[in-house]
Chains A and B, each alone.
Chain A
Amino acid sequence: MKTSQTANGESFRWPQPETARVPYQVFVDPAIYTREQEQIFRGPVWNYVALDAELPNPGDFKATFIGDTPIVVTRDREGELHAFVNRCAHRGALVCREMRGNRNTHVCAYHQWSYDLRGQLIGVPFRRGIEGKGGYPADFDPTTISLSQLRVATYNGVVFASFAQEVEPIEDYLGPTQQPWFTRVFNRPVRVLGYGRQFIRANWKLYAENTRDPYHASLLHLFHTTFGIYRSSQGGGVIMDDTGRHSMIRAFKRTEIAERAAYETTALRTYQKGYTLADPSLLQSRKEFEVELTNSIHSIFPCLVIQQIFHTLATRHILPKGPDSFELLFTFFCYADDDEDMLQKRIKQANLVGPAGYISMEDGYAAEIVQQAIVRDQDACSFLELGGVEASNVEDLVNEAAVRGFWQYYRHIMDF
């Protein structure tokens, strides 16, 4: 157990039992937030930055973030992807000022320093001055200057970047337990269908917890139970990697009889009768995957979630914006070879997720009502003992094992 300094200079010590308690301080402390930017987002991790399909052509670029650092992802003339910090090497201005597009070079607006698609400096105005006056010294060498370049890796069409020189290959970072689930969704080329953005006034880790928490699914999200679509007793389980940082939560449908039986033996406020969907076409589905799941929520540390909910496919990108807010970016996609019927199903079922999603809108709200209530008593902590205190794989959905797994790895990478 290590102690660390915090914003107010006091020492910080993780409470006991450390696997099953989280001090509220980690959600509000600016010093801890700053430490996360260094040790997590600039540390030995692969950060989700794009889908390959968002940058199909040479010159395509996308502006995004790693942690709260603005970056740019580009595709060069040879088709290689690059990523660099979006900050001019001259005076620190934002170089790329558009969300996406296609350019041969990226030119800083302030003094027109220009960079190639790898982030290498290629042009400096008035380098020799004017009429022998001004300009840079003779030993000024543009070839030694670039935007701060990141490592880039692509796995099955998903693009990651890392500040760290010492990070394992992406395949090893995902590990053998997560790769098959990743590949289950990213099994062939995809096409982007659109974006949905939410701004949540809560710490980003409250959302990281949420996607590792199958306990809340039928309790917070009342959509299924309201409309008599029995779900609380779904079969499923949690599969983590060795470190606990990634988790795959899968839910599959039991027979209706089994669902109803499980419901009726449990006294839940969420069991309501009386409503049915006026238009049930929303939930029409057909067989799509080898392993059929109604929901799969695959969290890749630190800030990527890959979801399949019915036929809705999306990445969710968690973008920290300070200790008490984050943006949640949904990127919806389909397969490039989808037929029209499947495409229409995906578009209609997008009602289920995103900022207005029937079974996802509450997730950000849940994070917000935690953030609102933990303004004081920061040595108080949350209680994570559902299913015990271990962070190991389980074959049920009434468990906080993956939340404990997240915090286990968080304590490790943060040196707490």
Chain B
Amino acid sequence: MNAREIRDAVEELQYAYVHCIDDDRLEEWPEFFTEHCLYKVVPRENADQNLPIALMYCDSRGMLQDRVVAHRAANLYAPHYYRHMVSAIRIVGRDPAEISAQTNYTVFRTMADPIHYGETELYSTGKYLDMIVFEDSQARFREKVVIADTCKIQSLLVTPL
């Protein structure tokens, strides 16, 4: 793949990923990752101090699936929708096996509970640090580290960023 093709593939992956979450197709979300993967949401407060605790920490596709089952069947929360804005997608490293990319994200959250129905707030902003590989010409995240500038979570975090 040439540089242009790689850029297109990475952008398409990011866009498909955020549409999947925003369209509430969470059951498809684990498919954006390789079988052995790392997905974590790290408050910037921890990242800046090299502290390892993440709010979500999944080191297999199975753990991602468990997050989805818990989201659907176990966890209780005010119903809401996300709208991701991604920008400044930049390929920061490229070796034969994988591509590393850095992307800014912003998530607006719109509430669907009876008290705050229809209200939108800026819920989270930060960056994605991604390691992307191609499996059968399909781009997947081998690693997606979400560094959340917004380290004070409004109420709770149940839907992945």
B residues 22-70 near A (Cβ < 8 Å) are 41, 43, 45-46, 49, 51-63, 65-66, 69-70
Whether a CB of chain A sits under 8 angstroms from the CB of B115 is yes
A343 to B57, CA, bound (A): 14
B76 touches A350 (CB 8 A): no
A327 touches B75 (CB 8 A): no
User: When the two chains form the complex, which single residue of A198, A221, A368 contacts B152, counting CB atoms closer than 8 Å?
Assistant: A198
Chain A residues, CB < 8 A from B53 = 193-196, 332, 347, 350, 354
Q: Given A200-B155, A354-B55, verify A362-B115 contact (CB < 8 Å).
A: no
What 1/0 mask marks residues of chain B from 131 to 161 whose CB sits below 8 Å from any chain A CB? Answer: 0000000000000000000011111111000
Whether a CB of chain B sits under 8 angstroms from the CB of A214 is no
How many chain A residues have a CB neighbour from B under 8 Å? 42
A304 to B63, CA, bound (A): 31
User: When the two chains form the complex, which single residue of B45, B59, B73, B77 contacts A275, counting CB atoms closer than 8 Å?
Assistant: B73
Q: Given A195-B53, A196-B55, A355-B55, verify A365-B155 contact (CB < 8 Å).
A: yes
Q: DSSP majority for the A interface?
A: mixed
B51 touches A193 (CB 8 A): yes
Q: Given A223-B75, A356-B41, verify A195-B70 contact (CB < 8 Å).
A: no
A199 to B43, CA, bound (A): 14
What 1/0 mask marks residues of chain A from 258 to 275 whose CB sits below 8 Å from any chain B CB? Answer: 000000000000001001
Residue of A nearest to B76 (CB): A362
Residue of A nearest to B68 (CB): A278
Residue of A nearest to B59 (CB): A348
A193 to B158, CA, bound (A): 22
Whether a CB of chain A sits under 8 angstroms from the CB of B78 is yes
Whether a CB of chain A sits under 8 angstroms from the CB of B97 is no
B74 touches A226 (CB 8 A): yes
Whether a CB of chain B sits under 8 angstroms from the CB of A282 is yes
B157 touches A197 (CB 8 A): no
Chain B residues, CB < 8 A from A198 = 152-156
Chain A residues, CB < 8 A from B151 = 195, 197
A226 touches B69 (CB 8 A): yes
B65 touches A278 (CB 8 A): yes
Chain A residues, CB < 8 A from B45 = 99, 194-195, 197
Whether a CB of chain B sits under 8 angstroms from the CB of A372 is yes
Whether a CB of chain B sits under 8 angstroms from the CB of A82 is no
B155 touches A222 (CB 8 A): no
A residues 77-108 near B (Cβ < 8 Å) are 99
Interchain nearest-CB distance for A339 vs B (Å): 15
A343 to B49, CA, bound (A): 17
Whether a CB of chain B sits under 8 angstroms from the CB of A201 is yes
A348 to B49, CA, bound (A): 19
User: When the two chains form the complex, which single residue of A194, A199, A221, A343 contacts B51, counting CB atoms closer than 8 Å?
Assistant: A194
A356 touches B158 (CB 8 A): yes
A222 touches B158 (CB 8 A): no
Residue pairs across A and B with Cβ atoms less than 8 A apart, 22 shown, are A193-B52, A194-B51, A194-B53, A196-B55, A198-B154, A198-B156, A199-B153, A199-B154, A199-B155, A220-B76, A222-B75, A223-B70, A226-B69, A281-B60, A351-B56, A354-B53, A355-B55, A355-B157, A361-B75, A361-B77, A361-B156, A364-B155
- B residues engaging A (CB < 8 A)? 41, 43, 45-46, 49, 51-63, 65-66, 69-70, 73-78, 115, 151-158
- A residues engaging B (CB < 8 A)? 99, 192-201, 220-223, 225-227, 272, 275, 277-279, 281-282, 327, 332, 343, 347-348, 350-351, 354-356, 358, 361-362, 364-365, 368, 372
